[in-house]
Structure 1
Amino acid sequence: MSIFEKIGAEAADSATKDNGSGGSSIFTFNSGMTVKVRVKSPTDVAMYYGYSMFNPRVNTFVPQKSATRNAKGFITSGHTPWDRASDYYYALAKEAKEKGDQAKAEEYSKLGYNFKGKRRYLVGFGHLETGEDIAIDFTQNQYNVVKAAIDKYAKKLDKVAFELTKTGSSTNTVVSLSPILDMDEDLTEAERANFAKCGEKPFDFALFEDCLYVADETEQIKNLVVAGFDIGLLGLTLGAGAPSSGGEITDEDLPQF
């Protein structure tokens, strides 16, 4: 079973529909960076549900066995330990709201959100510095910005390079994808050559497979402990072994309320 919920055109379309790091192959794209890229196709994208916690720190991971979700992203079966923790707090939020305690309801709702799997997107580009394929990870909001730019220039992708920029930090992180309209003036000779090289073959989707940190159920439970959740509330226990966490945490792993 794939760790991705959707691949290609289906993943690209999912960003505009109703809702819901890293391994060795993902490109490190930190705030303050600008990367010159070629967009090979609007559908070089994969969508997945990532789980993380900023404080206490649990880095982004995907479950080895993902929950089953309906077309709108709601879980219908196969809840992971983190899904169960999220539901636990959402149930408390509902109870508090019914009792008229709005402050508690909001507190529990935020906790439920923290443990919830969030939609994230891996997008493939051609890197003009190297001429090779790269994969960059985005939150859903960031991908919506990137997708809008790609869609705007969809008919000119073979003629237009882009600058991908990230600024800000935490929940104020902003991503932009801007066209380089004068490639003779704004690209070096090597970058123009790599633009042509990147267009010689389609994006290699196999690159996505090594980008995400996959956690089995035991590690997910350990990460719940790291996150400060009382696993006994779910009837869960742990054997020997130190808690651990997944891939490197980034600003995008912060809760987006």
Structure 2
Amino acid sequence: MAEYYGYSIFKKVNTFVPKNPATRNARGYIDANPTVWDQAAALLYKEADTAKNAGASEDAVKKITDEAYLYRGKKRFLRAFFDLATGKDVVVDLSPKQEETLKAVIKKYEKKLGTIAFELAKTGSSTNAVVALSPIIDMDEDLTPEERANFAKLGETPFDMASLETCLYVADEAEQTKNLVVAGFDIGRLGLSIGATSGANSAGSTQTPPPADEGAPIDISDEDLPF
């Protein structure tokens, strides 16, 4: 399992991690090197504070803070599983709540992890996605012959922890700036422009989606599980 801070806006900007991420303290707050997305969020939170002090309505202030929240880095988790259907490792992208749910089950059955299989399931979608990890009691009946054969191979090849560092899409500052434009933020408020940030070839360009990669994590919040 690995923890990271990802940036995205549902159906507008795909999840990415900054090439040069902000420095965060033990509580997850930024104390140095904020990304352009962090700067956008900070600007809006400051604007909301100013509006509040000026007597703006609660709804007006909330509208600003809601927008600011969109640009903040969100804590996410990558957890690796061994997929019995394919006989290969798979990495699943989880929200903190989803990770907490799965971790509790794994902890409960930690002494049986090498002797029983589990079913990973999801209901709902987007922010309403709920995950469940359930032990399979009767593997002879509930697993196919191929799945039982793959289960017998469990542990033959240890999971490559270094692969967790390569399965996320990394965006440099130029692409992060373009993504802010895609998201609808006025980058001029940060003194930025596409031409100045990313060069002549970036003019008029749009967000580059993450490449199709078998090693990319499955976002359990937005996608159907492949098993």
TM-score by length of 1: 0.76
CA shift digits 1:166-203 (9 cap, x unpaired): 12122221111111112122112221121121222322
Partner residue of 1:88?
A: 43
- Residues 1:228 and 2:191 are matched in the alignment: no
Q: 1: CA distance between counterparts of 2:103 and 2:46?
A: 35
Q: 2: CA distance between counterparts of 1:198 and 1:210?
A: 23
- Residues 1:117 and 2:73 are matched in the alignment: yes
- Amino acid corresponding to residue 159 of structure 1 in structure 2: T
Partner residue of 1:157?
A: 113
CA shift digits 1:73-122 (9 cap, x unpaired): 00000000000011111112222333342112211111111000001111
- Amino acid corresponding to residue 137 of structure 1 in structure 2: D
Q: Do the aligned residues in 2 keep the contact of 1:127 with 1:198 (CA within 8 Å)?
A: no
Q: 1: CA distance between counterparts of 2:45 and 2:209?
A: 25
Q: 2: CA distance between counterparts of 1:176 and 1:166?
A: 6
Amino-acid identity (%): 55
Partner residue of 1:244?
A: 207
Of 54, 60, 66, which aligns to 1:99? Answer: 54
Q: 1: CA distance between counterparts of 2:163 and 2:49?
A: 42
Partner residue of 1:70?
A: 25
- Residues 1:185 and 2:141 are matched in the alignment: yes
Secondary structure, counterpart of 1:120 in structure 2: strand
1:108 and 1:245, CA in 2 relative to 1: closer, same or farther beyond 3 A?
farther
Q: How does 1:211-222 map to 2 (within 5 A)?
A: 211-222=167-178
- Amino acid corresponding to residue 35 of structure 2 in structure 1: T
Q: Do the aligned residues in 1 keep the contact of 2:19 with 2:172 (CA within 8 Å)?
A: yes
- Residues 1:204 and 2:160 are matched in the alignment: yes
Q: 1: CA distance between counterparts of 2:40 and 2:120?
A: 36
Bigger relative CO (Cα 8 Å, ≥ 6 apart): 1
- Which 5+ residue runs of structure 2 have no aligned equivalent? 212-217, 223-227
CA displacement at 1:251 relative to structure 2: 7.6
Q: 2: CA distance between counterparts of 1:186 and 1:251?
A: 23
Partner residue of 2:103?
A: 147
- Residues 1:137 and 2:93 are matched in the alignment: yes
Q: 1: CA distance between counterparts of 2:116 and 2:49?
A: 50
Partner residue of 1:16?
A: none
Q: After superposing the two structures, state which structure 1 stretch, 200-209 or 123-132, moved more.
A: 200-209
Q: After superposing the two structures, state which structure 1 stretch, 102-111 or 182-191, moved more.
A: 182-191
Q: 2: CA distance between counterparts of 1:105 and 1:68?
A: 28
Secondary structure, counterpart of 1:119 in structure 2: strand
- Largest Rg, 1 or 2: 2
- Which 5+ residue runs of structure 1 have no aligned equivalent? 1-44
Q: 1: CA distance between counterparts of 2:36 and 2:185?
A: 11
Partner residue of 2:64?
A: 108
Partner residue of 1:4?
A: none
Q: 1: CA distance between counterparts of 2:173 and 2:13?
A: 15
Q: Do the aligned residues in 1 keep the contact of 2:92 with 2:220 (CA within 8 Å)?
A: no
Partner residue of 1:25?
A: none
